[in-house]
């Protein structure tokens, strides 16, 4: 959670000194590793709830991770690079690419993945309702500093995914070009506005969509998979 932010455009539109350590796929692998360790942490408690939440998280990951890889492939084909800064510059420089079907399909596919990875799907619940517990079940047996660390990691993951979605795909404008203190402050304010817009969209989905049975989780993930495939096909045809 501390490594990925130096690989993606957060406040500046130019790479940071250590951003060459990995690309967007490397960042995704780091986040996946963190999720895997939290699954192990849930199993380590040897409680029924920990096993319940961890097993459900793995069931979601089986479909979410291949779709995420397809989204990364689509981004690579679109920008001819896997560096998020290159994608940002391409979308800012070319409206034709921004409104192209390939980019719009990628935005829609990544938004569905955003709901899954941040536990905002209509099958998730942050309450202690056993039938819906996923994220909460994995860490139910933890308390004190360890619980605080897990909660912080969850919030940081949401921040990272929102930043990638906003600054790389959806709203790539408004980043500081020189990295001055005033520019960084203005960019932080703009990022807050972007986050608010995305959060409103997430809340809207959660409000208008009726809660699904857990075993229908594959439907939105299948839709995201199809959208990612359409992005790749439309990019090749275009």
pLDDT given for residue 170 in this prediction: 92
Q: Running along the chain, 238 residues long, what does each successive block of 10 average in pLDDT?
A: 88 84 82 87 84 85 86 88 88 92 94 87 60 76 88 91 93 90 93 95 84 76 92 85
Residue 189 lies in a domain: yes
Residue 137: inside a domain = yes
User: What tens digit of pLDDT does each residue of 158-180 get?
Assistant: 999 999 999 999 999 999 988 88
Q: What angle is formed at CA 125 by the lines to CA 138 and CA 146, rounded to 5 degrees?
A: 30
Q: What is the CA radius of gyration of the chain?
A: 18
**pLDDT confidence of residue 217:** 77
Distance CA 168, CA 31 (A): 17
Distance CA(219)–CA(122), nearest Å, equals 11
Q: How many domains does the chain have?
A: 1
Tell me whether residue 43 is in a domain. Answer: yes
Give domain status of residue 238, yes or no: no
Tell me, what's the pLDDT at 126? 53
Q: What is the largest CA-CA distance in the chain?
A: 54
**Whether 232 contacts 73, CB under 8 Å:** yes
Q: Do 105 and 231 touch, CB atoms closer than 8 A?
A: yes
Residue 159 domain flag: yes
88 found inside a domain: yes
Nearest-angstrom CA–CA distance, 136 and 43: 13
Identify the three-state secondary structure at position 133.
strand
Contact 222, 63 (CB under 8 A): yes
Q: Which residues form the domain of 39?
A: 4-8+16-233
């Amino acid at each position: 959670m501390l490594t990925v932010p130096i690989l993606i455009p957060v406040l500046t539109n130019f790479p940071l000194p250590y951003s060459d350590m990995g690309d967007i796929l490397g960042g995704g692998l780091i986040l996946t590793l963190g999720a895997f360790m939290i699954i192990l942490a849930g199993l380590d408690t040897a409680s029924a709830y920990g096993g319940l939440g961890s097993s459900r998280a793995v069931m979601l990951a089986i479909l979410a991770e291949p779709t995420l890889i397809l989204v990364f492939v689509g981004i690579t084909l679109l920008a001819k690079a896997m560096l998020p800064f290159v994608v940002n510059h391409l979308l800012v420089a070319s409206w034709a690419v921004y409104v192209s079907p390939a980019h719009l399909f990628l935005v829609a596919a990544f938004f569905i993945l955003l709901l899954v990875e941040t536990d905002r799907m209509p099958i998730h619940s942050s309450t202690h309702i056993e039938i819906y517990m996923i994220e909460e079940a994995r860490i139910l047996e933890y308390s004190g500093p360890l619980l605080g660390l897990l909660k912080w990691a969850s919030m940081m993951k949401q921040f990272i995914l929102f930043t990638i979605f906003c600054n790389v795909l959806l709203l790539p404008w408004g980043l500081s070009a020189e990295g001055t203190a005033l520019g960084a402050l203005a960019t932080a304010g703009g990022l807050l506005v972007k986050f608010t817009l995305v959060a409103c969209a997430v809340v809207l989905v959660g409000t208008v969509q009726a809660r699904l049975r857990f075993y229908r989780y594959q439907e939105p993930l299948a839709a995201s998979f199809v959208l990612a495939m359409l992005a790749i096909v439309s990019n090749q045809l275009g």
